[in-house]
Amino acid sequence: MFHCYAIYHGYQWVVIDISTNITLQKLCPHKNFLFQRHCVTAELMKEMTAEWILFIDADTTVINPNRLIEEWIDKNYNMIFYLRIRFFEITAGVYLARNNPYSRNFLHFWADYEHRLPNSVHNHDNGALHVGHLKCLIFSKKKFVWKSRYEDVSSYEACIQYLLGPKKSWPGKIKILGKPKGMTRDAPITKSLWGRRDFLIHGWKKKLIGSAWLGKNPFYPHNFDINLCSTNNVMLNWPYKPQMFKTDKKIEKILNRTIKFVNRRYDRRVKILVLKALGVRDERKSLHTTHLLYV
């Protein structure tokens, strides 16, 4: 569907199979593909004329081809990420990168964190992205050692979010879109129901379509025709089931319910981390009197 979307709107569509590209393997000899892919993106950008690059995970697809990538571009920044609705994390699988030295250097810096992973929970490139933001944006002039001592990835991500602060935008550098303003969201949140404001959906795995986790397929069975993508009949490649399309109000209600739930978990997790840092032993008794100060 992405290929068709690109043809229809006149975008350049690039798919790279690193396993067959010897040159990229030499330029990006990373052992972990999740890091290698960001190095590859940086190298490809050197040869591209496009001003902006939209990087997407393999399990992300276009649910609404009427929306344009330009809607999420902010020329005051060079890299644009977004906060994932269901978790505390900055998404690593979809981002916008301006094709300039800053973005390419950041992608290489991120990819090379493969060599600095701690011997504990780290969540691969996603974990490295979080500590990379701290290093580039907050602690750029200080030595910052990544030694995760948290019980799980969520605690680590909550800590990073707290340190980055609530605004999460650094002109000329990086912007992190808040919830639910990202170009992508997880399809399971609404069980694949979608609305006019949606653009991309994540978690679109063929084996899970129709499952209780992902929900019903929003499309009728059809034979995809690439020849339609440059015509006025392009929407025949998106044969929607009417019952899966909902009003903005309905989708917003579902998303906001999830956001509020996750925010409560985030506040509690950060309070526990702060109390631990202060040496408070009985966290449960102190949670209701602890207030967070964002600087």
Rounded to whole angstroms, what are the CA distances from 127 to 28, 122, 143, 252, 263?
A: 20, 5, 18, 29, 20
Range(s) of the domain holding residue 7: 2-289
| pLDDT given for residue 42 in this prediction | 97
Flag whether 294 is in a domain: no
Rounded to whole angstroms, what are the CA distances from 207 to 36, 212, 231, 285?
A: 26, 12, 31, 45
Flag whether 295 is in a domain: no
| pLDDT given for residue 145 in this prediction | 45
Flag whether 193 is in a domain: yes
Flag whether 248 is in a domain: yes
| pLDDT given for residue 150 in this prediction | 46
Flag whether 70 is in a domain: yes
Rounded to whole angstroms, what are the CA distances from 213 to 29, 207, 285?
A: 36, 11, 36
Flag whether 91 is in a domain: yes
Place of tokens 């800590």: 159
Q: Residue 35: CA atoms inside 13 Å, Cβ hemisphere, count? A: 24
Tens digits of pLDDT across the chain (295 residues)? 899 999 999 999 999 899 999 999 999 999 999 899 999 999 999 999 999 999 998 889 999 999 999 999 999 999 999 999 998 888 889 999 999 999 999 999 999 988 877 665 555 667 667 665 565 555 554 444 444 454 567 777 887 888 888 888 999 999 999 999 999 999 999 999 999 999 999 988 888 888 888 889 999 998 999 999 999 999 999 999 999 999 999 999 999 999 999 999 989 888 887 777 666 665 555 444 434 433 3
Flag whether 132 is in a domain: yes
Rounded to whole angstroms, what are the CA distances from 117 to 121, 131, 154?
A: 9, 10, 17
Q: Output the CA torsion sign for 72, 64, 242, 179.
A: negative
Residue 165's CATH number: 3.90.550.10
Are 209 and 217 in contact by the 8 Å Cβ rule? The answer is yes
Are 144 and 131 in contact by the 8 Å Cβ rule? The answer is yes
- DSSP structure string for 230-260: GSTTGGGGS-B-GGGB--HHHHHHHHHHHHH
Structure tokens at 235: 């929407």
Please state the domain count of the chain.
1
Flag whether 146 is in a domain: yes
